[in-house]
Chain A
Amino acid sequence: MNPFEPPYPDESEDLPVLNSLPRREIFSVPEGYFDDLADKVRLRAAEAGPETPVLDSLAGQEIYQAPAGYFETLPGRIQALIQHESRVIRPLWSRMAYIASAAAAVVLLILAGGKLWTPTPDMPALAQIPTEALVASLEVGPSEEYLILDALDEETVNRLHAPASLHPTAPEAALEEISVSELEELWEESGADVPEP
């Protein structure tokens, strides 16, 4: 869609003067202006220096080392681990006892759960969530709330929430009461913009 085109054709009839004017640019630039613009910007950036000069100078240097031959032997050790894992097979009686006790526990849980717990309209029943989604949610450890809290400075976090609900050393306690959207609002309120590094 062309942004210069009026969205509603009928409205253009109400703007006769504006519509009669030729749509051309009145501003111009000195000759060759765009030819060296990139160089000028690079020069200014070089003069201003990098935002994090020390970090930039250290980029790409690794201080950690592995013992000699570590990576050569690792694949073999992993294969040995895998073989060991697959060899560990429990006897039949042990598996039968395990299955029986697990089944009994499930029956008890269903009976108890039916009496004690009914899903609220806002909370989908666990059975409605695909197993793969549950597994995926377990695999992904860090939550977005933590990242946002980590990025906010302590003073902002304290200012944004009542002292009773948040102790600076216990962000987990606060997370129980703050949603992601609230944190994003807090982030905006803090005045810190999200830059494009």
Chain B
Amino acid sequence: MTAAEEKLLTGQLQSPEQQRQAFDQVVRKYQRVLYYHIRRLVVSHDDADDVLQNTLLKAWKNLGSFRGDASVKTWLYRIATNESLTYLEQKKRRYHQDVEGLENDLRHSLQGGAYINGDELQLKLHNAILTLPDRQRAVFNMRYFDEMKYEEIADVLGVTVGALKASYHHAAHKIEAFITAS
């Protein structure tokens, strides 16, 4: 999306007459990337659907606070990431005593879940990703799968590029070691 298109869309999102149609356009444009971003964090389709709907509903309710300082994509990723991490945190508190419990639950969803189609190596990769802490998984996924620039991810998470590079570097090596060892 060009800067002019982004500015136009931001204006439409602020306009009471145009915002519903503009928001529909935003949903159609970003639904897939947001879905897969969330899905990689929460793993099951049903959970991803819940979190995606919450994300878009929250975005709609907060259109008034969106000033266009960040891009629409960055803003949506920020809400989606936050919603996913909050969802995982709540799930951990509600159903599991510790991090390992949640990790096992996600691993179970990955191995026996619906709407998953990958070969042995790909499943091994996703199993390796599940060994990372949730926030580091979010960083790794945005960089590896979505091929986002560090600057973009920094905007999404509100952290420095240096911290992100260190986080990604360690995550990539940890995953590589996990796959190679198994």
> Contact residues of A with B, CB < 8 Å?
51-55, 58-67, 70-71, 74-75, 77-79, 81-82, 85, 132, 135, 139-144, 146-148, 150-151, 153, 169, 187, 192, 194-197
Selected contact of B115 from candidates A64, A75, A132, CB within 8 Å: A64
Closest 8 CB pairs of A and B: A63-B118, A140-B158, A141-B82, A52-B176, A150-B136, A65-B115, A142-B135, A144-B159
By the criterion CB–CB under 8 Å, are A75 and B31 in contact? yes
By the criterion CB–CB under 8 Å, are B118 and A75 in contact? no
Selected contact of B168 from candidates A58, A79, A135, A197, CB within 8 Å: A197
Q: Given the interface contacts A71-B31, A75-B27, does A140 sit within 8 Å of B82 by beta carbon?
A: yes
A144 and chain B: residue at smallest CB distance: B159
CA separation between A194 and B139, bound complex, in Å? 15
* Total A-B residue contacts, Cβ distance less than 8 Å: 149
By the criterion CB–CB under 8 Å, are A169 and B98 in contact? yes
Which chain B positions have C-beta within 8 A of A74?
27, 31, 52
Selected contact of A146 from candidates B31, B115, B133, B166, CB within 8 Å: B133
CA separation between A86 and B48, bound complex, in Å? 24
CA separation between A197 and B176, bound complex, in Å? 14
Residues 39 to 73 of chain B near chain A (Cβ within 8 Å) = 39-40, 45, 49, 52-53, 56-57, 60-61, 65
Residues 83 to 135 of chain B near chain A (Cβ within 8 Å) = 85-86, 98-99, 115-118, 121-123, 125-126, 132-133, 135
CA separation between A77 and B165, bound complex, in Å? 38
By the criterion CB–CB under 8 Å, are A132 and B165 in contact? no
User: Nearest Cβ in chain B — how far from A196, in angstroms?
Assistant: 7
List 25 A-B residue pairs with CB atoms under 8 Å apart, sorted by A's residue number: A51-B173, A54-B179, A55-B125, A58-B121, A63-B126, A66-B35, A67-B45, A71-B31, A74-B31, A75-B27, A81-B56, A82-B23, A135-B65, A139-B79, A140-B78, A141-B81, A147-B159, A150-B132, A150-B167, A151-B136, A151-B163, A192-B170, A195-B165, A195-B169, A197-B169
Which chain A positions have C-beta within 8 A of B79?
139
Asked if B2 is an interface residue, CB under 8 A from chain A, the answer is no
Interface of B is mostly: helix
CA separation between A146 and B139, bound complex, in Å? 12
By the criterion CB–CB under 8 Å, are B27 and A148 in contact? no
By the criterion CB–CB under 8 Å, are B122 and A58 in contact? yes
Asked if B175 is an interface residue, CB under 8 A from chain A, the answer is yes
User: Nearest Cβ in chain B — how far from A23, in angstroms?
Assistant: 36
By the criterion CB–CB under 8 Å, are A67 and B115 in contact? yes
Selected contact of B162 from candidates A62, A70, A153, A194, CB within 8 Å: A194
User: Nearest Cβ in chain A — how far from B31, in angstroms?
Assistant: 5
CA separation between A18 and B179, bound complex, in Å? 58
User: Nearest Cβ in chain B — how far from A139, in angstroms?
Assistant: 6
By the criterion CB–CB under 8 Å, are A63 and B85 in contact? no
By the criterion CB–CB under 8 Å, are B172 and A55 in contact? yes
By the criterion CB–CB under 8 Å, are B157 and A77 in contact? no
Which chain A positions have C-beta within 8 A of B169?
151, 194-195, 197
Which chain A positions have C-beta within 8 A of B125?
54-55, 58
Which chain A positions have C-beta within 8 A of B164?
147
By the criterion CB–CB under 8 Å, are A54 and B123 in contact? no
